[in-house]
Structure 1
């Protein structure tokens, strides 16, 4: 009885509105500036395990950045930040001061230190509902003032949001979704204005106090502000809740239901949910436990909760994808599902023991397969295609994944047959498969050894599955085509007169299947001129070895390893890493500024995933100790929040940056986390767990003839 009474009193307490503040009129500056999305180098990514909590958050270098609701393809906020001021001499956001981050099962505790104050901030989501919950503790030697800032972008857009104060809550709506921000104890003042003119941060940065308290604003790009009761001396603790719903009433109800819970109890349930997930899986002996566990949780958190099996590439928007509305008018492409990345995730989950999730990934792929049999270049978590170029490896790898899972159901066999038929029948621009409209890095057409390796593996796996379903004739047709491509891959992609070696080596790709011709093309991503295709190399040729088409002892493979190390490899304080390909421009400018399409020249940096792929190759080459060093190198790129990046700085890093540390690229990149998991299990197994035995048996164990 006493517990129910206290709960009822707590609910009554938070329903009490703050004192009337007075209407200060209509805020100026509509519709407000669109600042784009925050930088992509996240220090954290979190969500509760249960599907009943369809909300996710990211943490930037300072405060909370994007939230996602109701799915992982839909950002719902740009940022949620805290402000501390003495009202006279300084005003500081948490995102502007040094912050240390600790992670515990995707719960994050951050310690921020400003001018005479220390804030301890803990971030979780409510496992029972779509609410982000933040515990804010402020300590100082004298009373200060504190505020919370919120920038909504409901339904992935900010320009159409309406905001207002409803009692003690700050509500935002856009006609199809809503958010409600409140605090326990309640806000002492609230305001909704337009970013850059009448929002709370503009007011606070100018006056060190909230001088304008606008009751409503919109439609436009909004900044909402709540004044907190904590002063760092007498009152030190507050819980801020950001709840979501389909409309104003449901969002407020969600936020209030979360606020009625003790934060400690909710956090315990949040952590226990992920602990239970990890207890059901295996742990490799070779991995660093903290990095491994974090990687598994990042993979699991990257699966959408309404669209099971849909794992996004990254909960971030690097560079121009987050700031250039012409390039990216709606959020993407990292908030999307890519068949290639999904294959990486699913094979890692298979290795870790989560076959159910990998099977859900296959089910998602079956659902998005196009009528002609190919898979979209990428799609939203709900299955809508986003970019539409044809990449043959993205049609082949789903077949290999289904083979790994030994799927024999009718829907899967149909998917495999349709995908294989698309691959063997593909023609475009006067070329036929295995020529692809785009290769692995998505900005060039041609014959790519990496893509050809995937198509060979896909056809051999398809043949095995189709034959077991009773169709031996079609199976033999797939095998014959795969054998032909395996025999011809060098004639399409190996040069014997290129500038990097007197011995033959694999190229990134050839535009025309004539590797000894100096065919010129522009590699894209702001490169200022054209290149001779014989000068362009790429670590992706190792797909031929990892997927079982070529021996690691093959002379051309070994020579290309040496060429790639000279041309693309760099040794950094954290380990050896590689560029994607010669003259790659997908990265920052020389001064560290962001990549944008068609702008100043930019430079692709080093990719940790290649350390993982090299490690898998080295296991096959009989170098397990070297493979272990690759695993350590990937782990060394993790930031404070245990997030692994897309890229790390090379030796041309701008001032203040250290080679081998994360750039401002997509972080976490789910592929990097998947590669870490898969290499760890491959080291334990003594060989790549991804390699389909049916392919290796055909091209290696049979003497390489395909017999």
Structure 2
């Protein structure tokens, strides 16, 4: 019989805050699972592109009484199978029952095994489960069916993906979410299961079942395949294999991977527990079809209220991927980082840049370009080259095109790393300067010496101008974003923590005066002292977070308040380490933010406790956990503490920017950065995209001279103008003559 109530409630994503995240190593099993509120949350198959199962909840009921939703009403505690092995045990306590659940993936099959034990306090209590497939945004929904076998088999279909649930079920029913599902039935029938519908769909369908036991142990298999019969067979095979064998195989597969370096555990504050968890989380974030593609997180921020496919984190950002891959290198596992670089090479556009982010099937998702996301793959390539891990030369096809893009589009970025505004960004400048210097090293090794020289010229110019562009003397700190003062625009004034990246990447010394002044401002305005430890918000005016009353971000909208990000604790720890300070307290705070499940969130709540919304100061808010970038930052913080230096700081960069910077580097004019003013005593180089003769005049065109361009071999042609002889207030005019004629306009350069 077809269930009534089509199409069911509007679908959403699962909670952004996950208690746990796991998968099996290797390529045989293509299942990733998450836990939230003590129950199974989103499960992914056959890739991390989007969930297949929305959730599986356990319900408890007795005739004549309201049912209990274990996820919402019980107290839960969680533990890992062992440190670094992402299988989990959840213990649920309620006045009426105790429920233990073990979750483990079969490493040989695409199936999840749930082994539980139910201990009721009352004789009439019965245990139920309710599973909901994930509805793909824009689709008509899914289908559900109950096979009338002994015991019943629960089946669902999402497009060409089939889900089978097999267990000791006494009876089962299909339904529609919030209209004819099991939870509705138990409430409407006064604690008893009365409906046994055989089919539902298409729509937001559910499957519900009563377990055929009054108390004791049970096993439920959840299997996935591209054919219904295969899903059924896989589920039965996993049940036959049994909990002990599946768990043993899972543990063996994980312990065969490179272990955490002892030095990281030794400097941690918890004996290495979070470090091992972080290593496991990063490994689980890699897709098994799109090898080398690591998603940012296995969920959507504030997912319960997020009903579209736009604001999700199971996407790839080259920035997050850089941090994830370099953390794995610093944790002693280079192979996945090499795969990440190869994935980046596949995703790079012909013009040298990467999309803002992309789906696992290679489609650009958000459409902007962020200049730091062009620079960071170059830095990953250099880090892997230094580690001797590369079996191919990334210079001609990855590094060189990325460098050319930075030269032609920088130093301003369309969006900075927080993705809501653009301009001159200290954090973007830190990584682009570093990447240009690394690109020059690659070019030099390739014998491309002319290109290397020009890359260094531009890097020197950008590094030299950072304070002129991004430091506000009036405010006494670096700003988050600035307009282009060399092109005549005014400087902005929003305070952010982003300037710390200048120190981390070796562009500025940790004791540089502008850094010290900015730190004081940051700690006055962006520091939150939580019960877990100090934490920092991103920038003044951040709106990406809950409202003051705890309303989630999608609802809060413009009333939202950006909360502290644990990963910024790691960034601050790097700075303090380079200043010669102790960072043990920051490491402990980082660890405390992970909570008992060892899942580091994007943000933590720093307002007063709001228990009805699950918000406690110093604890993860509803944004997203685990966040791969945060786990990567934690591992990198430990590595920097263990080695005494920043793993992101290249010696060539530190030498060129801090130890022995060039004196009075020339300004560089480009189409993207059309300089109109320059500092006295400086030369100006004109960077054009085709050969030309540059005609210039220092006397308002009463006389003129010409300077031919020189080929940089990078697709740019550069002429140097003798502006160093000019006095403040003097103006030089110039124009260019190309092969097909004059440019058709004049430019001016004013000496300040």
> So what's the TM-score if we normalise by structure 1?
0.88
- Tell me the SS of whatever aligns to 1:254: helix
Cα distance per residue 1:143-165 (max 9 Å; x no partner): 42111110012667774211111
* Distance in 2 (alpha carbons) for counterparts of 1:693 and 1:653: 46
Aligned to 1:110: 90
Cα distance per residue 1:394-414 (max 9 Å; x no partner): 000000110001147244532
Aligned to 1:508: 480
1:439-478 equivalences under 5 Å are 439-478=416-455
Q: Does 1:88 align with 2:64?
A: yes
> Displacement of 1:704 after TM fit?
6.5
Cα distance per residue 1:176-233 (max 9 Å; x no partner): 21111111x3x1111111111111111112221221111011111001112211212x
* Distance in 1 (alpha carbons) for counterparts of 2:102 and 2:331: 29
> Displacement of 1:665 after TM fit?
1.4
Cα distance per residue 1:502-522 (max 9 Å; x no partner): xx3210111344899877xxx
Aligned to 2:22: 46
Aligned to 2:530: 572
* Distance in 1 (alpha carbons) for counterparts of 2:321 and 2:664: 29
Structure 1: which 5+ residue stretches go unaligned?
1-24, 427-432, 499-503, 520-532
* Distance in 1 (alpha carbons) for counterparts of 2:304 and 2:490: 37
Q: Is the 8 A contact 2:258 2:333 kept in 1?
A: no
> Displacement of 1:276 after TM fit?
2.2
Cα distance per residue 1:232-261 (max 9 Å; x no partner): 2xxx11111111011212211221221211
Closer/same/farther in 2, CA of residues 600 and 488 from structure 1, 3 Å limit: closer
Closer/same/farther in 2, CA of residues 591 and 224 from structure 1, 3 Å limit: same
- Tell me the SS of whatever aligns to 2:403: helix
Q: Does 1:635 align with 2:591?
A: yes
> Displacement of 1:27 after TM fit?
1.5
Q: Is the 8 A contact 2:37 2:76 kept in 1?
A: yes
Aligned to 1:391: 370
Q: Is the 8 A contact 2:11 2:135 kept in 1?
A: no
- CA RMSD of the aligned region, Å? 2.0
> Displacement of 1:659 after TM fit?
2.2
Q: Does 1:279 align with 2:263?
A: no
1:13-162 equivalences under 5 Å are 25-96=1-72, 97-104=74-81, 105-141=85-121, 142-153=123-134, 159-162=140-143
Structure 2: which 5+ residue stretches go unaligned?
666-752
Closer/same/farther in 2, CA of residues 514 and 661 from structure 1, 3 Å limit: farther
Closer/same/farther in 2, CA of residues 705 and 238 from structure 1, 3 Å limit: farther
Q: Is the 8 A contact 1:380 1:386 kept in 2?
A: yes
* Distance in 1 (alpha carbons) for counterparts of 2:396 and 2:490: 42
1:553-702 equivalences under 5 Å are 553-596=511-554, 599=557, 601-623=559-581, 625=582, 627-651=583-607, 654=610, 657-702=615-660
Q: Does 1:224 align with 2:207?
A: yes
* Distance in 2 (alpha carbons) for counterparts of 1:464 and 1:102: 47
> Displacement of 1:628 after TM fit?
2.1
1:429-440 equivalences under 5 Å are 433-440=410-417
Aligned to 2:682: none
- Tell me the SS of whatever aligns to 1:129: coil
Aligned to 2:313: 334
Q: Is the 8 A contact 1:699 1:705 kept in 2?
A: no
1:172-321 equivalences under 5 Å are 172-183=156-167, 185=168, 187-207=169-189, 208-232=191-215, 236-279=216-259, 281-284=261-264, 285-287=266-268, 288=270, 289-319=272-302
Q: Does 1:347 align with 2:326?
A: yes
* Distance in 2 (alpha carbons) for counterparts of 1:516 and 1:551: 29
Specify which of 328, 333, 348 is matched with residue 369 of structure 1. 348
Closer/same/farther in 2, CA of residues 292 and 263 from structure 1, 3 Å limit: same
Closer/same/farther in 2, CA of residues 599 and 620 from structure 1, 3 Å limit: closer
Aligned to 1:13: none
* Distance in 2 (alpha carbons) for counterparts of 1:34 and 1:123: 28
Equivalences, count: 647
Closer/same/farther in 2, CA of residues 35 and 122 from structure 1, 3 Å limit: same
> Displacement of 1:132 after TM fit?
1.3
* Distance in 2 (alpha carbons) for counterparts of 1:226 and 1:466: 64
> Displacement of 1:621 after TM fit?
1.0
> Displacement of 1:282 after TM fit?
4.8
Closer/same/farther in 2, CA of residues 544 and 515 from structure 1, 3 Å limit: farther
Q: Who wins on radius of gyration, i.e. which is larger?
A: 2
> So what's the TM-score if we normalise by structure 2?
0.83
Q: Is the 8 A contact 2:543 2:558 kept in 1?
A: no
Q: Is the 8 A contact 2:165 2:220 kept in 1?
A: yes
* Distance in 1 (alpha carbons) for counterparts of 2:114 and 2:513: 57
Closer/same/farther in 2, CA of residues 283 and 209 from structure 1, 3 Å limit: farther
* Distance in 2 (alpha carbons) for counterparts of 1:516 and 1:505: 21
* Distance in 2 (alpha carbons) for counterparts of 1:575 and 1:472: 49
Q: Is the 8 A contact 1:698 1:704 kept in 2?
A: yes
- Tell me the SS of whatever aligns to 2:187: helix
More strand by share: 2
* Distance in 2 (alpha carbons) for counterparts of 1:491 and 1:124: 55
Aligned to 2:687: none
Q: Is the 8 A contact 1:282 1:352 kept in 2?
A: no
Q: Does 1:490 align with 2:500?
A: no
Q: Is the 8 A contact 1:568 1:581 kept in 2?
A: yes
> Displacement of 1:658 after TM fit?
3.3
> Displacement of 1:570 after TM fit?
1.7
Q: Is the 8 A contact 1:100 1:110 kept in 2?
A: yes
- Tell me the SS of whatever aligns to 2:554: coil
* Distance in 2 (alpha carbons) for counterparts of 1:263 and 1:494: 60
Q: Is the 8 A contact 2:260 2:275 kept in 1?
A: no
Divergent runs of 4+, >6 A: 514-519
